[in-house]
Structures are given as structure tokens and as C-alpha cells.
Amino acid sequence: MAGYPTLLVSVLLILELSGSGYCSSTVNPCCYFPCENKGVCVRFENDRYECDCTRTGYYGTNCTIPEFFTRIYATVKPRPAFTHYFLTHFKWLWDIINSTFLGNTIMRLVLTVRSNLIPSPPTYNSAYGYISWEAYANVSYYTRILPPVEADCPTPTGTKGYAKLPDSTHIAERFFLRKKFVPDPQGSNLMFAFFAQHFTHQFFKTFGRMGRGFTKGLGHGVDLSHVYGDTLDRQHVLRLFKDGKMKYQLIKGEMYPPSIVDAPVHMQYPANIPTANRLAIGEEHFGLLPGLMMYATLWLREHNRVCDVLKKEHSSWSDEQLFQTARLILIGETIKIVIEDYVQHLSGYYLKLQFNPELLFGVQFQYRNRIAVEFNQLYHWHPLMPDSFNVKGQEYAYEKFLFNSSILLDYGVEALVESFTNQHAGQIGGGHNINKHILRVAVGVIEESRELRLQSFNQYRKRFNLKPYTSFQELTGEETMAQELEELYGDIDALEFYPGLIVEKPQPNSIFGESMVEMGAPFSLKGLMGNPICSPEYWKPSTFGGKTGFDIVNSASLQKLVCLNVKHCPPNVAFHVPSGVAQKQEQEALGAKPSTEL
């Protein structure tokens, strides 16, 4: 009996009649995913389906025959690996390109090609695996790039693999758990790691109490709700209602978020945390890590600083107009920093990335975004976190670091920036690099994906125009992990979405593999450039209070965010470890022993 599910699946696969429009009468034919190249499977009777190939560039029963121009495009289009290699080499050539009109041309191409991979308006959600008004209009749901696997399919990923997926905890412990800390070869530091977590939590707000696939954040993009609160009531509690500013407290002459006594909003703190150390900010979970609270403090200071600038130029403006305009400026600053500092570092490209909304004014583009559940799944980058945290030479284990606001208040923002700049973050791809203290989060991601019935990793590869892997060894680049994965999943086409992203072999000298780049970049760029401030109606000086406010947006950088809001600018403010520090740490790591229990 133990082999019966596997035997059943084998029989069903033998019975498949791909290309004829018919499949076994006992199986939903769409479970075979017969429609290629973004074709939509429409089921009629139990044994009949049709593929809608409209505007896919393909035709035929299963949308597999390329049209004339599709064939030409497929012939000349470079492979992602070649494109990545070209963008990360030949610096002398890119220096020339970046200084000419070609830089703008290529940047426009990057934005349009990447963004066009994300459907707009949205198509599916976790309740509707077909086009519906509800999937479009109900913003309480995350959207979906691919519809859920049909509930009546013989296996969780359709027809491939076993009838039951391997235990999620076993997957995490066997393939995700860190054996020895592997630093990111691109040199990402903890400033990068904490920024990634801080930035994304303004739009990744899973609302499990509502059910599967719901989000608490209705903005679906860069709205700075993690700074201002995700409801009007929370925002009002955090606001000073004077000169447009947010509430704050002064400690040792420096500005910090107010305590929950002065701004009584709900915050997630354990009962043992002193009231004075329970700081109140827009995102209720950011008391968890001092690094997140550090960024919350920087943005609080920046908001109030911008309000002072606006007040000086617009003495007649009301508190409300000062607040609203400052918020728009900070949204612009955020997008500028994300594209030109954060994504620039992450990509490793020599192409100079630009935040220039005007590049898209002459092309068709929709200024609205919906956060997809796949983007939320993809962005669980917990391998970034180290085994311990070094602040000014003091080592903090997880137990001493979590919910410890006194680290921020005692050391100050400058000390944390300097310390986090100098500490390596971990490599995300390749597996075996998540600290044991946060492994449970990865387990939760796998279990959520199963509840949401996400399609397999290879199905998403195809959706983003990538060649599906033909074996686990091709995926991982080695034999041991590949063999174990094959034993657990039975078929490369049954591998789940998130495990595939994490165990995929990294690109050379890169933080993660090809799939994370090719799937993550379209979500990111569409979400950033789809912000309303990037539209022709908004992108003008008057939106930001005039030339001075517009200049703040257009000149924003991570270094300015820090250095304009501390007394003494720390050295080497960046998302990567300084070269001298990196070389020293690499030399020390050559003789390092595997990480021990904290």
C-alpha cells in the first residue's frame, strides 16, 4: 500500500495524451499544465481542455508553435546567464555607456522588459484561479502570478512527484540549516540585511487571521506605512500635529521614536521589556531587532528634518500639508535609495541604475501595483542574518539581541551604522545558511506555500521565461544534495517554489541563483516604478513643495539619509562591507571553525 500513490501517479502520466487536447478521464486535464508559454488552460468536460494562446506569441493545441516574430526573438534573445555575465564584467565599456545616451536607453529597456513580466491589472488570487472581478477588486488578497494548483489534482504539484510532499521541518533542517556561516561573496553587510527587512515590511503584511493569501496592507507598494502606520488611527497617534512632524523624544540630545506612553499604539514587545524601552513606530513588529529600530529612527529624523525645510519655505502651510508633502518626499527618497543604492549593489551590475521616472513617460505603463504572494514568498532572505551581532566590539547572541531596544538607545544610531556596515551578511542561495534561531520562519514559508497550493518551481521558471531544470543536479550544481532532494520529491518538476529558490546554485560570485534574480527583479521594479509619484501627473516639483523638495528626492542616497540625521557621519556608509574590512574578515575566515551553539 505504501507504493500505491506513486503507482497511481505513474499510471496517470502514462495515460497523458499531451497535444491532443484530451487526458485521462479520471484526472483534471489542467493538472498536467499542458498549456505552455503563458497559455491559459480552460477545462470543459472531465477529459477535454483548450489552451487560450491569445497574445502569447504562440499557437497550436498547447501553445507550443511560435509565431514568426516570436521565433526570431527567441533566436536573438541572449540567455540570462550571458546577460548577467555581460552586465557584471567589462567595467571600462560600461563606464563609457553610462556617460552617454545609451545608459538611458538600456535603463528604459531594463525597466520595461522586467515590468512587463508582471501582469497589470492582476489576474489571480488564492481564492480564484481564473480571471474574476473579485481577484481584481479585492485588495485584501495578495495577487497571484500563477493560479493555485487545482484541488483535485493527484499530487500537490499537479501530476508529478509523490502524492504527499516531504515534511517541511525535515526539508528546512536538511537543506536550509546553517552548518557554517557563508558570507555573501558580493560583500553585503548588515546595513543591507536590515534595510531589506525594514523596507519590505511596508508591503509584506500577511494577515493570517483572515485566512489564506490575505494581506493587512492595502497600499500594495511603497507607502511608508512602516513609518507612519497602516491605518489612519495609528498615524494620528504617532503624529505631533505641529509643523507636520511626528512625535519624538530626546535622549542625550538626540531624536528617537516616542515611548508607547506618549504614543499609545500597539507594539509587539515581551512583558519583560521596560516601558521606557518600548518605542512606538509605524510597524508594530519592529521592536524585534535593533537594526529595524535603527532605520525607524533614521526615517523619523528625516521626516521631521524635511518638515523643517518645508516650513522654512512655506510658512503659510498647515500642519496637514506639511505632513502630507513630507511623506511624498520620503517615498521618493526611499525609491531613489532602493534603486540606486540597494538594487545597484544587489545586482552587481556595472550598468548605472537610475531612478528617473521620465524614462517611462513615452511608453505604455500602468501606475498601479499589487503585491503577489510569490513575491512575498521569494523575499524571505533569512540566510542574510549572521550567527551573532557585533556592536562596537561587543558580541550579542540572538537571545540578547532580540527585543533589545537598549542597544539602540545606549550606543546610538552612529555606532550601530558603523558596526552593521562592517559586519558581513550571509549568502542567500546554495542552501545550508539559515541560523537555527530563525529556521522556523523558513518552515512556515514552506507550509504557507502548501496551503496556498503554489505551483512547482519549474512552472515558475517557465512563467519567467527561464528554461526549466531537467535534474536536481543541474539545479544544485552538486551530487549529494541533489540525490537527497530527488529521493524526497521524486521528480524535479515536483520541487516546491521556495526550496527551489534557496537551494539553487548561486551565480558566480553572487548572493543567490539565477531564478531569484529573474523572478525577483520584475516584481521589484514594477512595484517601485508603478508608484503614483512616478506618474506624469505626480512627477513634478510642485508635488514635493517646489524645487527644494524635488531636489531632496533627486539627490537622496543611503549616505545622505544617515549623515544628515546624525551628529557625526560614520565612515563608509554603504550596503557592502568596506574593502579593507572584507579582506581582513576573509583571511580570518580561512582558519575559522564551524559556528557553535549560541
* CA distances to 70, 145, 372, 378, 502 from 375, in Å: 28, 9, 5, 5, 14
Catalytic, out of 201, 303, 382, 424: 201
Local structure of residue 341 (DSSP, 8 states)? I
Residue type, 233: D
Report the C-alpha gap between 221 and 244 in whole angstroms.
Answer: 23
Give residue for cell 521620465. 358
- Whether 379 sits among the annotated catalytic residues: the reply is yes
Report the C-alpha gap between 400 and 388 in whole angstroms.
Answer: 10
**348: how many CB neighbours lie within 10 A of its CB?**
19
Is the C-alpha dihedral spanning 95, 99, 100, 103 positive or negative?
positive
Local structure of residue 22 (DSSP, 8 states)? B
Cα–Cα nearest to 575, from 557, 590, 563, 592: 557
Cβ contacts of residue 534 below 8 Å, gap of 6+?
335, 357, 360, 367, 528
Bridge partners of 42? 50
Q: Tell me phi and psi for residue 174, to 5 degrees.
A: -80, -35
Cβ contacts of residue 153 below 8 Å, gap of 6+?
27, 28, 31, 159
Residue pair 256/409 in contact by the 8 Å Cβ criterion: yes
Catalytic, out of 49, 228, 256, 379: 379
- Whether 32 sits among the annotated catalytic residues: the reply is no
From start to end of 307-405, where are the E strands? 389-391, 394-396
Catalytic positions are 201, 379
